[in-house]
Structure 1
Amino acid sequence: MHVEGTVLRGPEFEPVEGRVVVEDGRIVAVEETTTDSDAIVCPAFVNAHTHIGDSIAKEAGAGLSLDELVAPPDGLKHRLLRTASREAKVTAMRRSLRFMQRSGTAATIEFREGGVEGVRAIRDALDGLDIEAVVLGRETVEAMEAADGFGASGARDADFEERRAATRAADKPFGIHAGERDSHDLDPALDLDPTFLVHVVHPEPHHLLRIETEGVPVVVCPRSNLVTDAGTPPIADLLERTTVALGTDNVMLNSPSMFREMEFAAKLCDVSATEVLRMATVNGATLAGLNCGLIEPDREAKLLVLDGDSDNLCGARDIVRAVVRRAGVDDVMRVIL
């Protein structure tokens, strides 16, 4: 199989006219050649932070504070999750996952509430879909053991030492929210030696130094931070120090569209389109332990094909900038997962 068009090749997403050659689900070559295709061939996205269970409560809680919305155990989302039926949660999650797949997301890193049963519910929601999920269980060691790792709410919420030790012993990833409300929980989170941090909106200089020195990747979710009035993550400062990936966070607050997240990050923060596309693809894949996110030989062929002749994209002078700041779901021609 091959896919023709303007191919965004390699880690710099260099636009080249040609084709991607795929065998047995892997990219075997990127060939430069003349083509009549107007397609733009991109790596599919990796959404590095989601709470897909919140799909049962889209746009609930207008006007509430961050703690009132999501703080465990009695924030609005947790109350709604406890009262919703399993069938309702699985159906709602499946619809969000289906939308993510259709809009070019190959994989997501999901913080899954509900213990072991919550992990089983999202596995059921994923059944038959092509999108992958690295599922991080929450609340208990048993949830971590049933999942791909552990996703902690934040160091201010509980003592996670025992769960961190168990996750380390299981050789699984440990992610934790930190620095979302203020800087106070960043040092305790870093003391847990996490696989990655989520949010980091309010780092102080010594936090940035620790992140760099200790090599801790960060997932930023700028739309969510704006909606909850948390502030704006210093993406440019973080990119100078570590791997930064992009996530859409709570489905309750935001559509799980990586197109929207990329546009927002690119227009809000002083970072290039190439950096943002890297955050939305290979950087998330690296965090998830996946061999995708770039179009180059030996990578898995997780591809997003856009219509470069759509009314929205036709005439773009800078292809990467157009993909990041302008493209949307309506421009998707094909998703290859």
Structure 2
Amino acid sequence: MKEIAGTVLVGRSFEPIRGRVVIEDGRIEAIEEAETASTDVVLPAFVNAHTHLGDSVAKEAAVGLSLDEAVAPPDSLKHRQLAAADRSDLVTAMRRTLRYMQRTGTIACLDFRESGTAGARALREAARPVDVDPFIFGSGAESVLDVADGYGASGANDDDFSEQRAACEERDAPFAIHAGEPDATDIHPALDLEPELLVHMVHAEQEHLDRVAEQSVPVAVCPRANTVLEVGTPPIRELLDHTTVALGTDNVMLNSPSMFREMAYTAKRFDVTAREVLRMATTAGAELAGLDCGVIAPGRRAALTVLDGDSDNLAGAVDPIRAVVRRATGLDVKRVVV
């Protein structure tokens, strides 16, 4: 049995409770209110709802490029870099990114992995020695589902994904698709495919929001990447009012996969509360991938990030939730419990 003491952010509302989390056999046995001298802050570990880990081989290579020039298939800089990368170098680069994510409080990510079956296998290999579990949305032919957890489509204007969608239905695997990133033209076609997840939705309008709500489709937003690529800002407030919204960091080529940076940017730029942002970074992503984490509650898997509340950065914070979301960095992470 293990105990972790401090200020614990409990349940879906992240209610701050002074006390301890009791863990047994990898699961949360109880949350107990108690006097404690610990200044630690205990929160659910992060789930990054959208990544492209293959981009780890070309960090900062796309500075100043447009969306199409940087990442659009099949001829963008990203895809040329991936095609030229040695497999061993690619695996090593993705593993290093996963280690960085682990050290900064993330224990799972939903990754759109390029390069078909070979790409999905490379990510599985990269993740083996790391305590970060990638939920892989594969690409290419539907046979990628032999290795991947689901299918990740580039966008409804890029190709016909009806066969891959049908394969997902046959295998009871989720189908996810980019939509509304450069403009709104691919949103209705994406929704016609009845996906389990939409990514970006920067240019979503009321008619799209209504369909998202009607079809109960969750959305992963990546506001920092949208800013870097100058495609606009997602209507996060409106999306939250219509569906489940999770937070992702998108291309490693463009930004570090730091959920602290993504949370702070989102909280300070958009009409959202700190609690909503923390939920986007933890509970929502976990639910999208069907993971038994993202909430500190009895019976749940013990996947926790412990921050040093007495660090030079966090000491004196009067609101632990706002401090986690708007101020904390990877330097404040004391340990990650998986």
Short-chain TM bin:
over 0.9
Counterpart secondary structure, 1:71: coil
Kindly state the Cα deviation for residue 131 of structure 1 after the two structures are TM-superposed: 1.0
Kindly state the Cα deviation for residue 141 of structure 1 after the two structures are TM-superposed: 0.6
User: Is 1:330 matched with 2:331?
Assistant: yes
Equivalents in 2 of 1:128, 1:330: separation in Å?
23
Aligned to 1:312: 313
Counterpart secondary structure, 2:74: coil
Equivalents in 2 of 1:119, 1:256: separation in Å?
19
Superposed CA deviations along residues 59-78 of structure 1, whole A, max 9, x for unmatched, are 00221110111111101100
Counterpart secondary structure, 2:4: strand
Superposed CA deviations along residues 103-148 of structure 1, whole A, max 9, x for unmatched, are 0001000100111110110011001211111111111111122210
Superposed CA deviations along residues 33-61 of structure 1, whole A, max 9, x for unmatched, are 00000100000000000000000000002
Structure 2 counterpart of 1:82, which letter?
A
Counterpart secondary structure, 1:183: coil
Contact 2:22 2:29 in 1 (8 A): yes
Tell me, which stretches of 5 or more residues in structure 2 are unaligned? none
5 Å-filtered alignment, 1:121-200, equals: 121-200=122-201
Equivalents in 2 of 1:94, 1:253: separation in Å?
17
Aligned to 1:290: 291
Structure 2 counterpart of 1:16, which letter?
I
Contact 2:292 2:300 in 1 (8 A): yes
Counterpart secondary structure, 1:211: helix
User: How many residues are aligned here?
Assistant: 337
User: Is 1:214 matched with 2:197?
Assistant: no
5 Å-filtered alignment, 1:36-47, equals: 36-47=37-48
Equivalents in 2 of 1:61, 1:26: separation in Å?
42
Equivalents in 2 of 1:247, 1:310: separation in Å?
26
TM-score (norm 1): 0.99
Superposed CA deviations along residues 149-202 of structure 1, whole A, max 9, x for unmatched, are 100000010000111001111100111000001110000000000001000000
Aligned to 2:84: 83
Equivalents in 2 of 1:47, 1:237: separation in Å?
21
Aligned to 1:8: 9
Structure 1 counterpart of 2:55, which letter?
D
**Identity across the alignment (%):** 61
Aligned to 1:272: 273
CA RMSD, Structure 1 to Structure 2 (Å):
0.6
Equivalents in 1 of 2:62, 2:9: separation in Å?
40
Aligned to 1:262: 263
Superposed CA deviations along residues 227-247 of structure 1, whole A, max 9, x for unmatched, are 000111111100011000000
Equivalents in 2 of 1:94, 1:323: separation in Å?
26
Counterpart secondary structure, 2:140: coil
Contact 2:63 2:254 in 1 (8 A): no
Aligned to 1:205: 206
Tell me, which stretches of 5 or more residues in structure 1 are unaligned? none
TM-score (norm 2): 0.99
Superposed CA deviations along residues 246-275 of structure 1, whole A, max 9, x for unmatched, are 000000000000000000000110100000
What stretches of structure 1 move > 3 A for 4+ residues in a row? none
Counterpart secondary structure, 1:46: strand
Structure 2 counterpart of 1:263, which letter?
A
Equivalents in 1 of 2:46, 2:8: separation in Å?
15
Counterpart secondary structure, 2:239: helix
Equivalents in 2 of 1:48, 1:256: separation in Å?
11
Aligned to 2:229: 228
Structure 2 counterpart of 1:218, which letter?
V
Contact 2:138 2:150 in 1 (8 A): yes
Structure 2 counterpart of 1:4, which letter?
A
